Amino acid sequence: MNLDILRTEWAERDAKLDTALRINTRMLREMLVAKGSAEVHRQIPFGFFSIAFWVFTLACTGIFLFNHAGELRFFLPALLIFVWTLVMGVVSLMQRTAMRDLDYGQPTLVVQKRLEELRIDRLRTFQWAFLTGQIVWWIPFFLVFMKGVFGADLYASEWMRQFMVVNLAIGVLVIPLALWGTRLLTRRYGNATAFRKLADGIAGNDIVVARDFLSKLRNYEQE
């Protein structure tokens, strides 16, 4: 009888100990998640100053559009800049929100998969922003800037008109060539350490920090 009582008592104590260990483990994981996510959030790009500059650029371009609504030669390049800036800003805000809303309380593998999706989205956004930016932020911006700030009409120069046509043509030609070159490099060197570091740098430091944090969290869970 005493042996049965002793067994029951030890079973109850084992159950309490297991419960305490699970609670402590969960609390420790939550502390690690809170600390790691806070560090990631500090690294997320497109912060206050970037947003303020984005709004300022849209405002200036919008004023220019209003003042030159009847001059298509200036209105159209300004509209191109406005649309490009608006789209890139909205995409950046969406990516920022997605990164901040990433739930690190989910299973590590699930979070890693979502993080990799965000990384790929960042790289694609950078790719298209860079390629289309060759067209938007060279000749159109130069035209609008010179007209808006100095009142200069670059269309008046024959040499400048030829220069703008050549540069726009080159900018358009660069897009398919760059896309082909990117695919070729990705197939050949996509798994190389140097190539992945370059891609991570383009994707953003917050992606790198989040990946390192998830690696540490996975090691903790395995231990």
pTM summary value:
0.79
Q: Which residues contact 32 (CB under 8 A, 6 or more apart)?
A: 216, 217, 220
How would residue 223 be classed by pLDDT, with cut points 50, 70 and 90? low
Give the pLDDT confidence score for residue 82 in this predicted structure. Answer: 97
CA-to-CA distance for 204 and 43, rounded, in angstroms?
A: 8
CA-to-CA distance for 60 and 41, rounded, in angstroms?
A: 30
Helix axes of 158-189 and 108-136: crossing angle, nearest 10 degrees: 160
Mean pLDDT of 68-79: 94
Give the count of domains, the chain.
1
Mean pLDDT of 149-170: 89
4 is a domain residue: no
CA-to-CA distance for 141 and 85, rounded, in angstroms?
A: 11
11 is a domain residue: no
Greater model confidence, 54 or 43:
54
Greater model confidence, 8 or 99:
99
Mean pLDDT of 84-98: 95
For residue 208, give the nearest of 49, 48, 39 by alpha carbon: 39
16 is a domain residue: no
Give the pLDDT confidence score for residue 52 in this predicted structure. Answer: 95
Greater model confidence, 83 or 112:
83
Which tokens belong to 26? Answer: 């969960």
Instruction: Write out the DSSP string of 75-122.
Output: HHHHHHHHHHHHHHHHHHHHHHHHHHT--TTS-HHHHHHHHHHHHHHH
C-alpha pair distances (Å), 209 with each of 6, 166, 175: 51, 43, 31
9 is a domain residue: no
26 is a domain residue: no
Give the pLDDT confidence score for residue 172 in this predicted structure. Answer: 86
199 is a domain residue: yes
Average pLDDT, the chain: 84
State which residues form the domain around 112.
34-222
Predicted confidence (pLDDT) per residue in 169-192, tens digit: 888 888 888 888 878 877 777 777
